[in-house]
């Protein structure tokens, strides 16, 4: 399958049909799956070649989100001695000509992705004794003159495991300052897909920025670490949520998780 996919994507890119190339890749693989992950796990040359083609297509179309994050997980020395874990599990980019091409394309994709995220700001909260980020005026509750979003850090339980971060919206009105807990997306079938509530990942989530974009108030969270329970899995957090009242609704999640 990989050889056939590589041949077809190569033809599509040669014909300057990068959008069609990505559409085809998504039709033969989970749309959220990145060949950068597949290539570095299998050490399969065909998978490495498809990794390069996918990154090239994403650079051409500007769709560098999810796979840029997967690339970062695999190629950067994150906290917690992650690079050592990568070497142990044979998931680092190998030092071949193909590997160098993948590294270069990956870095271009990451840079492009980060440029698209510059709209997020990290203005400190102006409400006294509240640590967090200031919200745009469009996100303020009625009657509020100032508003902020805060995030308490994750805490490790005495017997093991994690208590995930707690989030809140703070509003300053003439009557004083109120704090409303924020509810992340609920689990689906008992399984949490959000890095804010998944105990394997929430230990690394950090409040990264807020913005008003296309009529939506957005809050972004980032971070990177080893598995919170101490396993060898490596992951990055890069999730953006729409702030809607006391709820966070998933807007886009480019978090990556690599075993």
Q: Give the pLDDT mean for 77-86.
A: 35
**Closest of 250, 243, 253 to residue 133, by C-alpha:** 243
- Radius of gyration of the chain from Cα atoms? 20
**pLDDT, mean over the chain:** 78
Under the banding of pLDDT at 50, 70 and 90, the label for residue 68 is low
Angle at which helix 35-42 crosses helix 66-75, to 10 degrees, equals 30
Check pLDDT > 80 for residue 74.
no
**Closest of 69, 45, 62 to residue 112, by C-alpha:** 62
CA pair distance 122, 209, nearest whole angstrom: 5
Q: Any idea which of 44-53, 55-64, 119-128, 151-160 has the lowest mean pLDDT?
A: 44-53
Number of residues written out for the chain: 259
Helix (H, G, I), strand (E, B) or coil at 102: helix
Kindly list the domain boundaries of the chain, sorted by start residue: 2-116, 133-258
Q: Any idea which of 31-35, 94-98, 176-180 has the lowest mean pLDDT?
A: 31-35
Under the banding of pLDDT at 50, 70 and 90, the label for residue 221 is very high
- Can you give the pLDDT at residue 128? 93
Looking up tokens 């971060």 gives 165
Percent of the chain with pLDDT over 90: 22
Under the banding of pLDDT at 50, 70 and 90, the label for residue 83 is very low
Under the banding of pLDDT at 50, 70 and 90, the label for residue 259 is low
Which span out of 17-21, 112-116, 143-147, 194-198 was modeled with the highest average pLDDT? Answer: 143-147
Q: Any idea which of 25-29, 153-157, 205-209 has the lowest mean pLDDT?
A: 25-29
Q: Give the pLDDT mean for 186-206.
A: 79
pTM: 0.66
Check pLDDT > 90 for residue 6.
no
Residue with the larger pLDDT of the pair 210 and 42: 210
CA pair distance 32, 65, nearest whole angstrom: 10
Kindly report the CA angle at 236 between 232 and 237, in degrees rounded to 5?
135
Query: Cα separations (Å) of 151 from 15, 73, 109, 157?
Result: 48, 24, 29, 18
- Can you give the pLDDT at residue 88? 38
- Can you give the pLDDT at residue 258? 62
- Can you give the pLDDT at residue 181? 93
Under the banding of pLDDT at 50, 70 and 90, the label for residue 4 is confident
Check pLDDT > 90 for residue 102.
no
pLDDT for 141-187, tens place per residue? 889 999 999 999 888 887 777 788 999 999 999 999 999 999 887 76
pLDDT for 113-146, tens place per residue? 777 778 899 999 999 999 999 999 988 888 999 9
């Amino acid at each position: 399958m990989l050889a056939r996919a590589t041949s077809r994507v190569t033809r599509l890119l040669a014909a300057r049909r990068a959008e069609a190339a990505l559409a085809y890749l998504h039709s033969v693989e989970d749309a959220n799956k990145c060949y950068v992950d597949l290539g570095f796990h299998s050490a399969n040359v065909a998978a490495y070649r498809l990794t390069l083609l996918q990154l090239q297509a994403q650079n051409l179309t500007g769709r560098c989100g999810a796979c840029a994050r997967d690339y970062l997980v695999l190629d950067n020395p994150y906290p917690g001695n992650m690079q050592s874990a990568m070497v142990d599990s044979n998931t680092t980019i190998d030092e071949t000509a193909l590997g160098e091409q993948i590294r270069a394309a990956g870095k271009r994709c990451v840079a492009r992705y980060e440029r698209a995220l510059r709209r997020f700001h990290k203005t400190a909260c102006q409400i006294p004794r509240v640590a967090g980020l200031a919200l745009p005026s469009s996100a303020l509750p009625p009657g509020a003159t100032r508003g902020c979003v805060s995030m308490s850090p994750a805490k490790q339980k005495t017997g093991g495991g994690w208590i995930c971060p707690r989030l809140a919206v703070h509003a300053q009105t003439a009557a004083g300052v109120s704090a409303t807990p924020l509810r992340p997306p609920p689990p689906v079938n008992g399984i949490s897909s959000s890095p804010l509530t998944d105990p394997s990942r929430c230990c690394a989530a950090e409040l990264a920025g807020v913005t008003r974009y296309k009529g939506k108030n957005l809050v972004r969270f980032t971070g990177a670490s080893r598995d919170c329970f101490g396993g060898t899995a490596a992951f990055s957090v890069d999730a953006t949520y729409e702030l809607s009242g006391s709820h966070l609704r998933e807007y886009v999640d480019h978090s990556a998780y690599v075993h």
